[in-house]
Every structure is written in structure tokens, then in C-alpha cells.
Structure 1
Amino acid sequence: MSDPTLSRSFWHRNQQTLAPWLFLAPGILFFVFYVVYPVFQSFNLSLYEWDGLGAKEYVGLRNYEDLYYEYIDRDAFYTALKNNVIWLFLYLLAIPAGLFIALFLNQTVTGIRLYKSLFFFPFVISQVVVGLVFTWFYDPAFGFLNVFLGWFGAGPINMLGDEKYVTYGVIIAGLWPQTAYCMILYLTGLNAVNPEQIEAGRLDGAKGLRMLWHVVLPQLRPATFIAFVVTIIGALRSFDLISIMTSGGPFGSSRVLAYYMFEVALSEYGFRMGYGAAIAVVLFGIMMVFIAYFLWSMYREEKR
């Protein structure tokens, strides 16, 4: 007699193995087509001189050489790169700020739902709205910032019109919704904290910062990793707030790599698509260095 399992179809024999991949297939195809393929397309485009309409001219690494010499001359690319570094370090303040707000909101006190709604609000509004709100807040004529400074006898500050302050003013505007996002990540992580470990820490005499550092934070490592990755990506691809609040000004002092890429590729700089793609490749490389470092750090901690 023949074995009935051999007569079954390939699908019935491998259904449990194939079913997850079939459900994942649409998402994987979209990711490959709209994320992975454009990345390689940008690498390829950065080797050409192209205005977006005519024929492409292969120039090899000349676009990267132009970036290097522009960096040496401390022109637009240098300013954009410097501002991205400032964005990167100051934007990371959203992570500890989100953590401490999440620790506060994780308490059981009167009106905690109202507090959660107020802190959650910046996350759900558009970046365009955030930019407009802070533009009004910084306005040297009627903005609340200068009204507040006037109460203490301080002179008005043109936050978005002064080259010394403009980058920091835009970063503060970006930190408002980013802190709310990190807060949500940590609130989700705190719901998964093992209460038995908390109780064991209390029995060992851990409290306050010791409890936070040795018991709570190790259990929040996945949330911290996601917060780091999302915050770094947000800092390096910052575009919308700069476009709304300053348009790269004054005198190009607030531009970052993403906005400079837009300027040279699609704005008044002559539609240099290849040069813009080279900027995108540099930005992608910086982003991948940081993400690879955090992935390696997490792998090392998990292995340990």
C-alpha cells in the first residue's frame, strides 16, 4: 500500500512553512520596490551628470569630488554637514526626555489620562503645524518667547533670523514631537516590565536611580534601540521643519543635507540630479554607520 502522505500535494505538505511567507510577500515586494531599489538607483545616479530631462553623462566619482572640494572650501555642503551633526547630537535629547516623561505617566495618580493626552498630542499633529506654531512662537514682534523674555527685561531675540540661533530654534521645534514619540515607545516598554524583577530589586534594597539603572532600563533595551534608530533617522533626514520655518535661511545657515539635496536637485541650483544623489548617498552612509553601531552593540549585549 502506498503512503498517503506521499500522495498529498506540495502545498499540504508545506502549508505551515509557506503560509507566513505568502502573507509577508506583499509587504516585502513593496519594501524592495519602494525602498531597496531606490537606494541602489541613487548610488547609480550619483555617478552621472543629469538635469532630470536630457541624456545622462557618466562622470564617475566627480560628484563626490565636488562634494569634497566644497567641504574644504567651507561652502554650502560644509554648513549642511555641520548642521546635521548638531541635529544628531541634540536630537538624542528626546530619548532621555521621553523616558522620564514615560516614567511619570506610568504612575497611578489623579488625572493621569489628561496628562497622557497632553504629552501625546505633539505626536499626532503634522510637522507642518509644528513648524507654523514655533514660527509664531519665535516671532520677534508678537511671539510668546520674546514676550516671556520681556518680563525679565531681556531684549527681543530673532531666533529664526539670526545665524547663531536659527539651527537650535528649529531643533527645539523638532524635539517637541520626537520626545512624544520616544515617550510612547517607553510607555509600551514599561507595560512589559516584569513585576517580579521589580519586587526582587526592592528586596535587595534597590530604589530610585539604582532600581532604574539596574532593573528597569535593561528590560527597556528593545524600546531604547528603536528610539535611538528612529531618532537618528529623524535627525539626519530633517527637512520639513526647515522648509516650513526657514527655507534654509538666513543665508543658508540652517540648511541640512536633506534640504541641500533638494536645493541642488530640484531648485535654483540647476537641477543637478547626480550631485543631489551623491549627497543622498553620503547621508545614507552616515545613517548606516550609526544604525550598524547600535545593531552591533545590541548583538554584543545579547550575546554577553
Structure 2
Amino acid sequence: MSSLAAYWKANQLRLTPWLFLAPGMFMFAVYVIIPIFQSFSISLYDWDGLGARTFIGFDNYVELTDDEAFYTSLKNNVIWLLLYLLAIPAGLFVALFLNQTVTGIRLYKSLFFFPFVISQVVVGLVFAWFYDPSYGLMNVVLGLFGVEPIAVLADERFVTYGIIAAGLWPQTAYCMILYLTGLNAVDPEQIEAGRLDNAKGWRMLWYVILPQLKPATFIAIVVTVIGALRSFDLISIMTDGGPYGTSRVLAFYMYEQAFSEYGFRMGYGAAIAVVLFLIMMIYIAYFLRRMWREETEGL
């Protein structure tokens, strides 16, 4: 028996999982890890994506500090992040409502699940029609109460909040699915023990159910934070960054600078992408550290 065959026989149980993981790890490295380092490398150059590169060091990052459009995009991303987190408690309460055995519950589940399966482009178009100041449903209803039409997507004061409201619709549905899955794993014995201890309503939810939903909550937070920070498609469909660039976020501003007719500045766009990546990593690292601490303290 060759040495390689002998080594495989002796270490088969230890090596087999790595063989199954290897294709996924390779794809993750090629399409995620390597592009991250490439983006940082490109951000150190002045480059239009076609011609020769000119190394300029950290000049792109220095320019960001004086870019008013960058600060507007960053502010909008913060607003997105704070308001997008509303999808988590909303998804929880919808899941609690749907986790019942009542007549027609399957129909209700289908209606709440529907926003998750449709494209973000469709969501953007639906809400653009909904906000239309001439014939949109929102302004038709406001007109019944004598309120003048509001051009949500053309008003600098409301445009970001209007787009976020559109994004919350499918994001709430996604969080609902996570919590419905988590509720199926809730220990019924703990529920019964809580009832014996006279835990009802909010006390039952806070002290018995929510602690068992921590894994679902963690996933919901991470996915929602990532969704808020990488928001792009709804903005592109509903406003294209307008009016006057006031609805831009970092991902959309990166696209404008790197790929649109306004820019073709690959290095500057890559610098924006690096900043966005670092912000995302800070939030995710914080939640991972917090979850790890809670898990280790519970052992």
C-alpha cells in the first residue's frame, strides 16, 4: 500500500469534511475574498477601467473627506440602517400572528410571504405607482381627507423615507419567514412551564419565547443590516438617486462614479466600496462578538 493510500485510510474521517467543503471554499475565495483585496488595490489608483492605471496612494480616500455627495450618501445609509431594523420586530409580530391554527391561516401566510418572492424591481415599480402624485393610491386616499397630493419621490424631505418604506415590505416578509422557522423549534415544555408560573402575554414573549429565538434574531439582524447597507436596486428603479442626488446611498454612488456616464472613475468607486465594506464589517463583527459572548456565558 502506498504512503498516500495509507495516510488517507488513517485520516479518512478527518479529511472527508474538508473534501466536501473544498469546492465551496474555492468559489468563496474566487468570488468574494479575492475581489475584496482587488477592490482595495484598485482604490489606490486613478483608473477609468480601460486605460493605464496611475498609482495615487490614498488620494481617493482623501478626496472622499471633501465630497459632499459622499456625506449625503453616508447619511442616507445611516437612515436606511436605523429604519430598516424595524423589519425585525415587524417580522416577529407577523410570525406570531401567523403561528396559529385558525381558519384561513394558509391564505394569510401566502399573502404575507408574497413580497419576499417578487423581484425588488417589481417592488420599486409598485411603490413608484403608489406614490404617484396624480393617480397614486396614497394620494387618492389623502385626497379623501382633503390633504393635498404629496410628491414623495420628488421631495427631498420624504424621498429617502419613501424608498425605505418600499424596502421594508419584502424585508419584513423575510424576517417573518426566519421567525416562523424559529417558532417551530420552540420547546413546548418551556411554554407549559411558563404558563404554570403565570407567564402570559408580554411576559411569556419576553422571558420564554424570545430567548429561544436568539438564533433567528441574529440571522435577521445580520441579513437586515447587510440589506440596508447594500441598498441599490430600489433607489435605481424609483429615483435614480434623485431629486438632485438626495436619495443616493453609498452603493449607488459607487456605481455612479465607477460605471455610469457621470464617472468612469474605477479607483474612486472602489474607495467608496471599501468604506462601505468596512462599515458593514464593523456592524457584523459587533453582532458576532455579542452572540459569541452570550453563547459562551450560557455554557
TM range (shorter): over 0.9
1:137 to 125, 130, 136: 130
Q: C-alpha distance in 2, partners of 1:158/1:198?
A: 49
* 2:192 aligned partner: 199
Q: C-alpha distance in 2, partners of 1:8/1:277?
A: 47
1:153 to 122, 146, 155: 146
CA shift, 1:110, in A, is 0.5
CA shift, 1:13, in A, is 2.2
Q: C-alpha distance in 2, partners of 1:7/1:79?
A: 60
TM-score (norm 2): 0.97
Using the TM superposition, name which of 258-267 and 268-277 deviates more.
268-277
SS of structure 1 residue aligned to 2:17? helix
* 2:7 aligned partner: 10
CA shift, 1:80, in A, is 0.5
Structure 2 residue 43 is the aligned partner of structure 1 residue 46 = yes
Match of 1:54, as an amino acid?
G
* 2:169 aligned partner: 176
Match of 1:61, as an amino acid?
F
1:288 to 267, 281, 287: 281
Distance 1:132 1:7, change over 3 A: closer
* 1:268 aligned partner: 261
Structure 2 residue 222 is the aligned partner of structure 1 residue 242 = no
* 2:56 aligned partner: 59
* 2:78 aligned partner: 85
Structure 2 residue 27 is the aligned partner of structure 1 residue 35 = no
Deviations 1:99-118 (A, max 9, x none): 00000000111100000000
Match of 1:125, as an amino acid?
I
Match of 2:39, as an amino acid?
S
Match of 1:32, as an amino acid?
A
Q: C-alpha distance in 1, partners of 2:106/2:4?
A: 60
Unaligned runs of 5+ in 2: none
For 1:252-263, list aligned pairs within 5 A.
Answer: 252-263=245-256
SS of structure 2 residue aligned to 1:160? helix
SS of structure 2 residue aligned to 1:206? coil
Q: C-alpha distance in 2, partners of 1:24/1:189?
A: 26
* 1:225 aligned partner: 218
CA shift, 1:269, in A, is 2.9
Q: C-alpha distance in 1, partners of 2:5/2:265?
A: 59
Deviations 1:164-198 (A, max 9, x none): 11100100000000000000000000001111111
For 1:73-112, list aligned pairs within 5 A.
Answer: 75-112=68-105
Q: C-alpha distance in 2, partners of 1:51/1:18?
A: 45
CA shift, 1:8, in A, is 6.7
SS of structure 2 residue aligned to 1:253? coil
1:21 to 18, 21, 24: 18
Match of 1:97, as an amino acid?
A
Deviations 1:130-155 (A, max 9, x none): 00111111111110000010111111
Deviations 1:235-284 (A, max 9, x none): 00000000000000011010100000000111133311111000001101
Distance 1:7 1:98, change over 3 A: closer
Unaligned runs of 5+ in 1: none
Match of 1:103, as an amino acid?
L
Q: C-alpha distance in 1, partners of 2:286/2:143?
A: 45
SS of structure 2 residue aligned to 1:248? coil
Match of 1:43, as an amino acid?
F
SS of structure 2 residue aligned to 1:241? helix
1:300 to 269, 293, 296: 293
* 1:69 aligned partner: 66
SS of structure 1 residue aligned to 2:231? coil
Match of 1:141, as an amino acid?
S
Distance 1:10 1:91, change over 3 A: same
Q: After TM superposition, which residue ranges in structure 1, 4 or more long, deviate above 3 angstroms? A: none
SS of structure 1 residue aligned to 2:133? coil
CA shift, 1:12, in A, is 2.4
